Chains A and B, each alone.
Chain A
Amino acid sequence: MDKILAKKDYPQWLAKLASYRIYAPRKKDDVWNYELLTDPDGDRLEEVMTAVPAKGIVFPQREFFFAFAEKDDNGAQINELLPEDNPVVVFGVRPCEGKAVTLTDLVFGGEFEDPYYWRRRNATTLVGLGCAQPPSPNCFCLSVDGSPHSKEGLDLLLTDLGETYYAEALTKKGKKLVLEGIKLFTDPKPEDRKMVDKIQADSRKKIRRELSLIDNVPAKLKGMFDSSLWDDESMSCIRCGICTYLCPTCHCFDMNDEVETVSPLSGKRVRTWDTCQFPDFTMHSSGHNPRPDKASRLRQRINHKFQYFVEIWNKYQCTGCGRCISLCPVGIDIIKVVEKVRDHGA
């Protein structure tokens, strides 16, 4: 279903979505992040790249699994704490984030479905905003099977036509969202569609950075486990968690018991994001650490994204958003590293 919405009517559409919790990009201290809108009046849909990607809405940095409590008769009470499934809508999602959610869907689905992820995921409508210009100088979505107007993972895709948005409903959820404000929408004219096609085609030419000819990289990586490349490339790594926490496809997490009262014992089992870049990520209780140094941890990050994930799912675990490049305090550049792998020994 394709519709047109005048940009000036966007706040009214939001007003019609009172039954949803609405997230949209908001700026604070020069940083954009998805915030819960409490008052959509006069809102504008911003074309930005947030620091924390949309994954944080379906896979939040912290969530509860269950509450535990000691019972009088020496038993234990375990109360499941599933997230609320009130409908959520996220506006301003860049196509790379939508694609990334399809990758986290693979991880959290499968044989052992993650009920927490799926409750949020199923209740969330993702409204994409196509990238007429790349939001970051480090965008390279085209190189990893993505595009500035990719529809993957999105429920609705908006293309900016200047005074209006061209809205393409891609799923039932997307259609429902349009229907909520149907009076504000009009039918597109043929020239609207032509304009969309032109904008989408032009946007591909504007992507500045490229990671080309990487078909051989998964196989190349297999033979480079002991390469000195990892040591060289990780020399300046300061082992923080920026590249992974802010990566839309990264999904590693930790589980911890947070005690609230000691006697009687009560507390919650909590999931939080974790990162393979922290030194204690793989450290055994005995002190043995399969990845004791930065070289092995950088190797893991690159291998996971460009070899292991490919071997399991036949997709790169990277959507080319460039956050890890832009935000790394020492400028470690995943494009450069993978290029070096590609060209290694050539």
Chain B
Amino acid sequence: MVNIEDLKEEARRVLKEGKVKYIIGYERASDSWKANPVFLRKPEDVDKLVWDPTCFHNLVRFLVDEKRRKAREKPADSRPVGIVVKGCDSRAIVILLQEKFFERADVFVLGVSCESSGVVDERKLAKKTTGKSVRKLDFGDKQNFIVTTDDGTMGIAASEVLADRCLDCIANVPVVSDRLLGGKDKRTVARPFHAVEKMESLSQDERLTFWRDQFKKCVRCYACRSACPMCYCEECVVDTINFAVSADTPAEEKAQRIKWLEKSPVDSENVFYHLVRAIHLAGRCIDCGECERACPVNIPLRMLNKKLEKEAKELFGYDAGFDPDQPALISCFKDGDPEDFIR
């Protein structure tokens, strides 16, 4: 079991030594039962840190912001940023290292193992605690969560409320870290892609109908894209402008930028957006599940990415985000790669 005091101690030490600019971790706001991202700058701030099943955010997303911030910083502070990561989050760091988004020395990784547990799925928890407002959620022993509501405290079998991605998790222990807390026993998953098996059994028409029906709900808030650490492009396909313009960019260049997508949240545009985003994440998605969690209308986005993750594994033997020295999936090839789709 991870001891939060150990985490606080590590964080305190690193801040005291001035080793990092700040640490990104989890805190709980007073009016909420859920953890929120927190940015700790002073050693005394570390008392805000929490570690519980509501630490679902992928904080690596804020390392993308840090890079933008650093570019504007005057004078530049070249110290690394500290970050608390779960196993899945750590794989995102690996992807960003593979893609040379930043250097290893730019992050100080405080890895926390989920051991045999994980984070909670709010919807599943709401069903379990019908009608009662949740006040607090803690890790119990290996198999339980402890939920506190207005009516008191009770234990819940973790397996009933764990996020789906935790049930499918192949990286419960962070794969990269400067400090590692918690048990190092790795989980094994018998059928890591079972989430997509049902969908695969449907015909193409049935699948298209399913997704078009789901995308009808989409309001194109782009929370899915915004929550993903790997969606860091300044010039994104869905934006009608290129953010990397200056006063010297010729007008023609701006005028000729292709408008791939209309802003309208209609069938054609929504399907295009989600499928293109999934394809752009092929071999890069590490299934932190944030896209699906962030979605305000509960579109099961994970499934799209999981399908491509399955293809990457089955066609190319590729697992995203384990080895920083491994090249990105779409930037390399092996002689034995399948060619049967080349006609």
Q: Please name all residues of chain B whose beta carbon is closer than 8 Å to the beta carbon of A57 when the two chains form the complex.
A: none
Residue from A31, A239, A278 in contact with B297 in the complex, judged by beta carbons closer than 8 Å:
A31
Contact A240 B297 (CB under 8 A): no
Contact A31 B217 (CB under 8 A): yes
B61 contacts the other chain (CB 8 A): yes
Closest to A255 in B: B263
A235 contacts the other chain (CB 8 A): yes
Stretch from B28-36, B93-101, B110-118, B326-334 that touches the partner: B28-36
B293 contacts the other chain (CB 8 A): yes
Query: CA–CA, A334 to B251, complex, Å?
Result: 40
Contact B297 A51 (CB under 8 A): yes
Contact A61 B265 (CB under 8 A): yes
Query: CA–CA, A197 to B173, complex, Å?
Result: 57
A163 contacts the other chain (CB 8 A): no
Q: Please name all residues of chain B whose beta carbon is closer than 8 Å to the beta carbon of A62 when the two chains form the complex.
A: 264-266
Contact A236 B219 (CB under 8 A): no
Q: Which residues of A contact B (CB under 8 A)?
A: 28-31, 33, 51-52, 61-62, 137-138, 209, 232, 235-236, 238-242, 245-246, 254, 256, 258, 270, 272-275, 278-280, 283, 285-288, 294, 327, 329-331, 333, 335-336
Given A246-B296, A258-B262, A280-B239, are A240 and B221 neighbors across the interface (CB < 8 Å)? yes
Contact A256 B223 (CB under 8 A): no
List 6 additional A-B contacts (Cβ < 8 Å) besides A31-B217, A330-B37: A137-B133, A238-B294, A241-B221, A287-B246, A329-B226, A333-B32
Given A236-B62, A242-B296, are A329 and B227 neighbors across the interface (CB < 8 Å)? yes
Contact A283 B241 (CB under 8 A): yes
Q: Please name all residues of chain B whose beta carbon is closer than 8 Å to the beta carbon of A137 when the two chains form the complex.
A: 133
Q: Please name all residues of chain B whose beta carbon is closer than 8 Å to the beta carbon of A235 when the two chains form the complex.
A: 37, 39, 62, 65
Task: Give a binary string over B291-307; 1 marks a CB under 8 Å from any A CB, 0 the rest.
Answer: 00110111110000000
Given A33-B297, A245-B219, A329-B57, are A287 and B36 neighbors across the interface (CB < 8 Å)? no
**SS class, residues of chain A in contact with chain B:** loop
Contact B245 A287 (CB under 8 A): yes
Q: Please name all residues of chain A whose beta carbon is closer than 8 Å to the beta carbon of B220 when the two chains form the complex.
A: 241
Q: Please name all residues of chain B whose beta carbon is closer than 8 Å to the beta carbon of A287 when the two chains form the complex.
A: 245-247, 249
Contact A240 B262 (CB under 8 A): no
Given A33-B217, A33-B297, A61-B265, are A288 and B36 neighbors across the interface (CB < 8 Å)? no
Q: Please name all residues of chain A whose beta carbon is closer than 8 Å to the beta carbon of B123 when the two chains form the complex.
A: 30
B341 contacts the other chain (CB 8 A): no
Q: How far is the CB of A294 from chain B (nearest CB, A)?
A: 8
Q: Please name all residues of chain A whose beta carbon is closer than 8 Å to the beta carbon of B221 when the two chains form the complex.
A: 240-242, 245-246, 275
B102 contacts the other chain (CB 8 A): no
Contact B296 A327 (CB under 8 A): yes
CB neighbors of A among B300-342 (8 A): 300
Contact A254 B31 (CB under 8 A): no
Query: CA–CA, A273 to B222, complex, Å?
Result: 13
Q: Please name all residues of chain A whose beta carbon is closer than 8 Å to the beta carbon of B62 when the two chains form the complex.
A: 235-236
Given A29-B298, A31-B217, are A258 and B264 neighbors across the interface (CB < 8 Å)? yes
Q: Please name all residues of chain B whose beta carbon is closer than 8 Å to the beta carbon of A278 when the two chains form the complex.
A: 222
Q: How far is the CB of A147 from chain B (nearest CB, A)?
A: 21
Q: How far is the CB of B136 from chain A (nearest CB, A)?
A: 13
B89 contacts the other chain (CB 8 A): no
Contact B31 A256 (CB under 8 A): no
Q: Pull 10 A–B residue pairs with CB atoms less than 8 Å apart, ordered by A.
A: A29-B217, A31-B217, A238-B226, A240-B225, A256-B264, A280-B240, A294-B65, A329-B57, A330-B37, A331-B29
Residue from B240, B263, B293 whose CB has the most chain A CB atoms within 10 Å: B263
Contact A238 B227 (CB under 8 A): yes
Q: Please name all residues of chain B whose beta carbon is closer than 8 Å to the beta carbon of A232 when the two chains form the complex.
A: 39
Query: CA–CA, A238 to B31, complex, Å?
Result: 21
Residue from B35, B219, B249 in contact with A52 in the complex, judged by beta carbons closer than 8 Å:
B219
Q: How far is the CB of B322 from chain A (nearest CB, A)?
A: 26
Query: CA–CA, A52 to B240, complex, Å?
Result: 25
Closest to A272 in B: B263
Contact A331 B241 (CB under 8 A): no
Given A30-B298, A254-B263, A258-B264, are A329 and B39 neighbors across the interface (CB < 8 Å)? no
Contact A336 B37 (CB under 8 A): no
Q: How far is the CB of B202 from chain A (nearest CB, A)?
A: 17
Contact B243 A279 (CB under 8 A): yes
Query: CA–CA, A187 to B251, complex, Å?
Result: 69
Contact A241 B222 (CB under 8 A): yes
Task: Give a binary string over B54-76; 1 marks a CB under 8 Å from any A CB, 0 the rest.
Answer: 00010001100100000000000
Contact B36 A272 (CB under 8 A): no
Closest to A246 in B: B296
Q: Please name all residues of chain A whose beta carbon is closer than 8 Å to the beta carbon of B290 when the two chains form the complex.
A: 329
Closest to B293 in A: A329
Q: How far is the CB of B38 from chain A (nearest CB, A)?
A: 8
Closest to A278 in B: B222
Query: CA–CA, A283 to B246, complex, Å?
Result: 11
Query: CA–CA, A254 to B220, complex, Å?
Result: 13
Q: How far is the CB of B282 from chain A (nearest CB, A)?
A: 22
Q: Please name all residues of chain B whose beta carbon is closer than 8 Å to the beta carbon of A335 when the two chains form the complex.
A: 31
Q: Please name all residues of chain B whose beta carbon is closer than 8 Å to the beta carbon of A273 when the two chains form the complex.
A: 219
